[in-house]
Amino acid sequence: MSVATILEKAVAGRRLSRDEGLRLLESRDLAAIGRAADEVARRMHPEPYRTYNIDRNINYTNICAAVCDFCAFYRRPGHEEGYVLPREVLLSKVRETVELGGNQILMQGGLHPKLPLEWYEELLRDIKQQFPQVNIHGFSPPELHHFTKVAKVSIRSVLERLRAAGLGSIPGGGAEILVDRVRAAITRGKVMTDDWLNVMRVWHQLGGRSTATMMFGHVETLAERIEHLDRLRDLQDETGGFTAFICWTFQPDNTDMADTPPATPVEYLKTQAVSRLYLDNFPNIQSSWVTQGLKIGQLGLQFGANDMGSLMIEENVVAEAGTVHYLTLDQIREAITELGYTPRQRNVFYELIGEEHERRALEACRRRDQRELAQLAV
């Protein structure tokens, strides 16, 4: 089947097969794939706006018992640079996020070998007690699966206990590529494919929502990228619990895979566009300006994404790999406006925030930017 025929099929709303998805990834017709993904995104999101979020990535610890060749962030237990954030520091980060108009925190860490499940429950309760309005988008499937080993209880028990303590939703981190061959090649001591998917399955069965991700451009084949998408699509057919999909390119600097040639912006845009065409049951696709920068992040909104991602008040994991892109809220909003859309703030469930809250958040972020500029000028 020709690429044009496959694209016509996807635009018409018919499901692509694995072979058809692979054919698109193998194609060099970036423009045609991007146009098709944009048509699908517009069909699924005919509204005149595109969205963004304000949140903060709080990494409560960098101590990790797993060994991931692609990670520049983690530190082995006992390492002099290992840390667990003091509770008062963590809560101050949440407070600043709220003051800047944020409505959620993205909270992830390493697989700490000694912190008991009760520590995480207490952390959630402390946050919700002081900031009941904040959604805690926390603990990736590798962390949650790790908690079952530490506490010696089932994943259902872990999730029920954390939800009762205040966990609101689960991020899709730690997916990398959901193919065991790939996972075994780049990591040791970390959850494999079926268990990653089962964490999400059980969370969805409990009524929870989550996001899904893919980190590509390392040791995987193009066929394995499609296998990853296919596994996500199958689970979404089963549960309907995923709110969005986000993909990004592996950042090799400062990792044990530093000799891996970085994926190009073209490869990023094509993979995101194919994701939009393949994941026909995912309501939202998020662009990744954090790894791609402003212009490619903006272009992602024309390659299948309907969301510009988060202001990301704080980000540490990608930054440790040497990739540091920083955008102000005005820049994110301008990127959306330049494409003819109205920028609107959302929450993790893709519900729009009230316009008055949005206005106050913009003013607060502008004041912060002015303070930082003043400090740099000193």
Per-residue HEC secondary structure of 110-150 comes to CCCCCCCHHHHHHHHHHHHHHCCCCEEEECCHHHHHHHHHH
**What's the half-sphere exposure (Cβ side, CA atoms, 13 Å) at 258?**
9
Give φ, ψ of 148 to 5 degrees.
Answer: -65, -35
Predicted local distance difference test score (pLDDT) of residue 324? 55
Predicted local distance difference test score (pLDDT) of residue 155? 98
Predicted local distance difference test score (pLDDT) of residue 223? 98
Q: Dihedral sign, CA of 264, 267, 273, 276?
A: negative
Predicted local distance difference test score (pLDDT) of residue 308? 95
| Global pTM value | 0.93
pLDDT tens track of the chain, all 378 residues?
899 999 999 999 999 999 999 999 999 999 999 999 999 999 999 999 999 999 888 999 999 987 787 787 778 888 888 999 999 999 999 999 999 999 999 999 989 999 999 999 999 999 999 999 999 999 999 999 999 999 999 999 999 999 999 999 999 999 999 999 999 999 888 999 999 999 999 999 999 999 999 999 999 999 999 999 999 999 999 999 999 999 999 988 778 788 888 899 999 999 999 999 999 999 999 999 988 899 999 999 999 999 999 987 765 554 444 445 678 999 999 999 999 999 999 999 999 999 999 999 999 999 998 988 888 776
Edge-to-edge strand ranges of the sheet holding 55-59: 55-59, 104-108, 135-138
All structural domains of the chain: 19-377 (3.20.20.70)
Distance CA 239, CA 231 (A): 12
Per-residue pLDDT reduced to its tens digit, 131-161: 999 999 999 999 999 999 999 999 999 999 9
Distance CA 245, CA 274 (A): 12
Distance CA 179, CA 89 (A): 37
